[in-house]
Structure 1
């Protein structure tokens, strides 16, 4: 039965991704973003440098102790290590599930000033079939919401939810687990309560749309923002406040059927992202979902700083990645402490 085999495939991927003490490494920076990351360490973004860097990430010894999946950029699916092994296969051999970012970036949403919508639904089915043959077992799609007195608009909220649901339905029809990412940006001067209000509205709309499109919530992962004050608000929220408000909002808007919530770091420092995740797991009690991470910069920043584009720094860079992964693994149990940073 075709339907059953797809379900089994989806379930197997969820089982491999939603694992106690583990999270997901986001290594799917688009071309403009990786240029920016490399520029900060004076490295040119050539294909060879991107391949060397992403090989370094995926060959980090012991990484699968704390990382269950990795989100890759399209280019990386076809790249190989120096000894000719394909990068998705390198991840899989380590026990890390390869995934793929499939959206094509945002553009302004017409007649909704200040809101954007993500491109890439056209031809998505064919692209996913291709990615699957290259080893990808899950996908990721990000919709972006900025907070202002007028944003997000009703049109922005409804349109983005619809697009996320259509993407998720297409993924599931092919046996690919969708990561659903409604990112509410931390840019702005809004309060933490305004952030909480917006995230709740956005996620309600997303889950309504997923329901309309018959997306099975048992086979998705949610990648949301934490509830934090706007970065220009002048207010510093404590990890406890962030954890408390984020959990209230999630309990209101995320059905218990969702197996795992993997937060994005969204501009937090590596330490902040770990501390805030830890605070949530410390008070989550019997929350129905895993509370985990899917960090990009909050896992990679120390790695880039250690690497500096030099082959002789590979081991130091891998140690930096292993350390951050391990600290976030501890935060998954609410057992992270500041003094672990020094070890």
Structure 2
């Protein structure tokens, strides 16, 4: 994989996935990481868990957003926060062993608006730029929550969100070679419909070194169809992998 850093290449190792742990589970840190290497390439852990993380386990990374706040005049929409002091925090965590950084933004499909999309994609782009300056791979997690309006509406919202993220990254001048996009499956359809619409929506995604599809227990039955279709139609410059939030799903996602 020419032009990418060693940690990024490790994160995109074939037949492994990324693991976004609940903070309580992740507090196990070193003990947990040692047993995950077969299925997991990178684990997002709290900063305190970086100390003593096993060198022969998955790469440890840290979540840098600090949660969400209400978006002013957003009618219930939220924006992920944590940009204050971000560069300083990235440098400090890299010194303590972080090998990549992660930022999550979730858009409420029922409160979807141009303002909410702009606020969250702009924050993601600023985060990506700070990671580039810190020489840390950046995981950009942008998801659209489920909707009651069906699969066509969900596909349209996911496509729009990815288009806006692409525009913000381009505007910020962020290089794609150090980025992994994390996003969810398009929802509310058969496995074949989910696969077709997810891959179609990913056609609007920004150029990145890799795409990690976030998978939960409900979505894992769609994985093979999505992976097979993605392998045929996605830009071959981006490596496709998966992202789970439960260690038990790691093996299932790759089986």
Equivalence for 1:75: 48
CA contact (8 A) 1:243 1:276 kept: yes
Q: Deviations over 1:276-328 (max 9, x none)?
A: 222211222333222221110xx33xxxxxxxxxxxxxxxxxxxx4xx43332
Task: List alignment gaps of at least 5 residues for structure 2.
Answer: none
Q: Of residues 1, 16, 20 in structure 2, which corresponds to 1:22?
A: 16
Where do residues 209-224 of structure 1 align in structure 2 (5 Å cutoff)?
209-224=168-183
CA contact (8 A) 2:131 2:138 kept: yes
Counterpart check, 1:122 vs 2:84: yes
Where do residues 293-308 of structure 1 align in structure 2 (5 Å cutoff)?
293-296=242-245, 299-300=246-247
Equivalence for 1:306: none
Counterpart check, 1:198 vs 2:198: no
CA contact (8 A) 1:22 1:65 kept: yes
Equivalence for 2:196: 244
Structure 1 Cα separation of the partners of residues 12 and 90 of structure 2? 22
Equivalence for 1:13: 7
Counterpart check, 1:291 vs 2:240: yes
Counterpart check, 1:65 vs 2:15: no
CA contact (8 A) 2:47 2:62 kept: yes
CA RMSD, Structure 1 to Structure 2 (Å): 2.0
Q: Deviations over 1:173-199 (max 9, x none)?
A: 11011111112112x422111111111
CA contact (8 A) 1:141 1:181 kept: yes
Equivalence for 1:131: 93
TM-score between the two structures when normalised by the length of structure 2: 0.91
TM-score between the two structures when normalised by the length of structure 1: 0.69
Task: List alignment gaps of at least 5 residues for structure 1.
Answer: 1-6, 39-49, 79-85, 230-236, 301-320, 331-343
Q: Deviations over 1:13-51 (max 9, x none)?
A: 221111211111112x34xxx4xxx8xxxxxxxxxxx64
Structure 2 Cα separation of the partners of residues 19 and 108 of structure 1? 37
Structure 2 Cα separation of the partners of residues 69 and 203 of structure 1? 23
Equivalence for 1:313: none
User: Tell me, what secondary structure is at the counterpart of 1:20?
Assistant: coil
Where do residues 1-343 of structure 1 align in structure 2 (5 Å cutoff)?
11-27=5-21, 29-30=22-23, 34=24, 51=27, 53-60=28-35, 63-78=36-51, 86-87=52-53, 90=54, 92-94=55-57, 96-148=58-110, 151-186=111-146, 188-229=147-188, 237-251=189-203, 253-255=204-206, 257-265=207-215, 268-269=216-217, 272-286=218-232, 287=234, 288=236, 289-296=238-245, 299-300=246-247, 321=248, 324-330=249-255
CA contact (8 A) 2:29 2:50 kept: no
Structure 2 Cα separation of the partners of residues 239 and 57 of structure 1? 32
Structure 2 Cα separation of the partners of residues 211 and 139 of structure 1? 20
Q: Which of structure 1's runs of 4+ aligned residues deviate more than 6 A?
A: none
Of Structure 1 and Structure 2, which has the larger fraction of its residues in helix?
A: 1
How far has the Cα of 1:203 moved from its partner?
A: 0.7
How far has the Cα of 1:218 moved from its partner?
A: 1.6
- Count of residue pairs brought into register by the alignment: 251
Structure 2 Cα separation of the partners of residues 114 and 203 of structure 1? 21
Of Structure 1 and Structure 2, which has the larger fraction of its residues in strand?
A: 2
